[in-house]
A and B are shown apart, each in its own frame.
Chain A
């Protein structure tokens, strides 16, 4: 019975981190039951991931913004506006997609730097400058779509980013109807995860740091591997991994690596933890503000691209309320408004939680008003839970 005692001990000690995952699983199970399995169907999961993508990338950027004690309200309409710019460039300027995407991303970076300028140089609160951005980009979005209304995008490669799937091996007779590349990638992911987990544990042991006991460690490996296996299995039964999922995973992977492993990431968290101490440690706090807002601008552009590709068009209201969804996702994912705390991976789970609610309730046909109320409640509960588990340690 020590096994179960160990489980409950590990859960209690890491309740804050695991709480989010448990909530996600709970939501998924509840919706599965209520929709008689439709929620966890291959088609819906695939759909859910694509729905989550454009908020997910924003939530990743927003995490770092909140970590350095700022906020960016402009990201929603910036995404909408840059999505429209992409549509115009493809349709009216006739530019090829491989020019349009980098161009829009660069425009996003520039927009982020402009938001950051008064913040870093003059100490204007980011709430104010980004609120100004919210107004300006909303105006610009309406301006560029005023003459045409909705702009239909016909470029297939561009639209694939929001709707397409990665190609499979040619049919060789075995495993018919199953997306084999997806399965293979899932397998590779599991192997990489297991190897890195074992290495990490060895390293920690070498320094006498606390590690999970052996049975808990094996349990952790099994659970995570099973989840990856299950998800790849579901996805491979439909069309496989979507391009949106590839992009989201890449963004999360790169940002998580930067945040947790690089000098830049350490500097960002140091600035969030204590800006004065960071400055005296030789970190240029202003530059960090520029970098983080620049990255937010780039991810806004990416979000705009994903959204336009998904709708295969740019609309006059694209991006409405994205910023609030992204902020909510980050808070559900464990970011602290006091600064210096919050993981990119947490925020992506937060985005998944919020999008699961929307998706599940849509399947149930519940009213949009009820959806907002439920999401509001979940946000509050998540943050209260977070604050309580944080202070309990004292």
Chain B
């Protein structure tokens, strides 16, 4: 456990206007699990992209030594050949293809020009066994949950005869069971000699799995901690990541008597004609002014479907039941009607349907409320810049200017842009779907503080979250969703993790 498998020396990588990595050194020993932590935009993903050849040799300065040899990767396939496999922050599978096609797409076993599909399927089966996924390799990837998709990604990496496996926030979108399963798999692989680097914002996970932790801040290595010497604890990690101590995870909140009902859903059922099944069954709930209600449940339990069916029903469900906004019965047929009625919805999938990655920060922040910035339909560019800059400051979005393309921001900062976009709509009812996914501890606290401030000002918030501590820490009332139904409603005083988990698995 003491020979270095990988050594990165004095890596510096600049983008126009940003020094993403500044003289970073990073060492990984043979056979360990090495975690990489740091705030949003600290440079973690960039460092891994340098390592795997996404940013080719020559676009950064410094040396990469793998197995004691200096490496000059010009493309990803170069690093793959030496035994490095990377699983990106955003999954890169083809949803319409089968598992085995996905696993072997990059290196199909060929006999001349023809693919030997039987061999491919057999080998895929072996790989799936290695990741302990007991399913037919012919299943289409889109029919799997995110947890299983993540395992397919790992199977794909293993099929390439990997020595060093890099995982960029692999558990960000996973529930606790799936996360635990994945961590166990990594431990298992470790015993079979696979070294791993894992990036994560979930510090509990880091503590449970890491042999060594390296902390990055503002593109620099802050420290490397050895877990076996007891150097790793949540306190220490946070302090090194953020540069100061954070005592509270949740801001103090004065829980006032909630006001009048602002949103009420009665006997709400939805049928999805595209999938040909009922996604929501007889849902009833109430949201009051100045209140935060939490929706807990497993992935795929119907929480996002519920939010989207309320928010203008853009998925085209057939809906039965009644929706009241401030006492008025509403029949939204498009999100813009929901927005006009004072609702905002921050999606869980910021890349897929939240942001326009090729546009800049200011355009993303203004897009849902352009008319406010326009006179006679002409957009006032100056006003737009001003507004965007305000949100950049108040949400602490790390970007050189508001003219930076959102696709160039780090994952967590993209999430903040997504939040800023909906705050600018100035809604009365804010629906947050997994608001802190991929967000660092410091920024989480900032987002909780913002939520607290907003409800104090009279906004009402629906928070959908798979992180139970967050649901318990922030909500006034918790609804538990399972199989498209509400299986429980707990006032915060009575809610515990155990009770919620039990209701969440109750169909």
Contacts and interface: CB of A to CB of B under 8 A. Distances in A.
A210 B403 CA distance: 10
A267 B100 CA distance: 40
Contact of A274 (B55, B339, B355, B403): B355
Nearest to B370: A263
B335 A281 contact: yes
B460 interface: no
A54 B359 CA distance: 32
Given A207-B385, A207-B389, A282-B339, A263 B377 contact: yes
A177 B353 CA distance: 61
A266 B379 contact: yes
A281 B367 contact: yes
Interface residues of B, number: 38
Contacts, number: 85
A283 B345 CA distance: 14
A277 B403 contact: no
Interface in B271-287: none
B359 A340 contact: yes
Given A263-B374, A279-B314, A284 B336 contact: yes
A280 interface: yes
Contacts of B203: none
Interface string A251-282: 00000000001111011011001101111111
B377 A270 contact: no
B356 A270 contact: yes
B354 interface: yes
Contacts of A209: 401, 403
Contacts of A203: 381-382
A270 B370 CA distance: 12
Contacts of B55: 394
Given A279-B314, A282-B335, A340 B356 contact: yes
Nearest to A257: B378
A281 B339 CA distance: 8
Nearest to B385: A207
B353 A274 contact: yes
Contacts of A394: 55
Given A263-B379, A270-B359, A273-B359, A281 B368 contact: yes
A178 interface: no
Nearest to B17: A210
B357 interface: yes
Interface string B378-422: 110110010001000000000001010000000000000000010
A199 B354 CA distance: 34
A262 B353 contact: no
Contacts of A282: 312, 334-336, 338-340, 368
Given A207-B389, A279-B335, A264 B377 contact: yes
B193 to A, nearest CB: 34
B432 to A, nearest CB: 14
Interface string A374-394: 000000000000000000011
30 contacts: A207-B385, A207-B389, A207-B401, A208-B401, A209-B401, A209-B403, A210-B401, A261-B379, A263-B370, A263-B374, A263-B377, A263-B378, A266-B363, A273-B358, A274-B356, A274-B357, A277-B354, A277-B355, A277-B356, A278-B367, A279-B314, A280-B314, A280-B335, A280-B345, A280-B353, A282-B338, A283-B336, A284-B334, A340-B356, A394-B55
Given A203-B381, A278-B356, A283-B336, 18 more contacts: A208-B401, A209-B403, A261-B381, A266-B366, A274-B355, A277-B347, A277-B354, A279-B353, A280-B311, A280-B335, A280-B347, A280-B354, A281-B367, A282-B336, A282-B339, A284-B334, A284-B336, A394-B55
Interface of A: 203, 207-210, 261-264, 266-267, 269-270, 273-274, 276-284, 340-341, 393-394
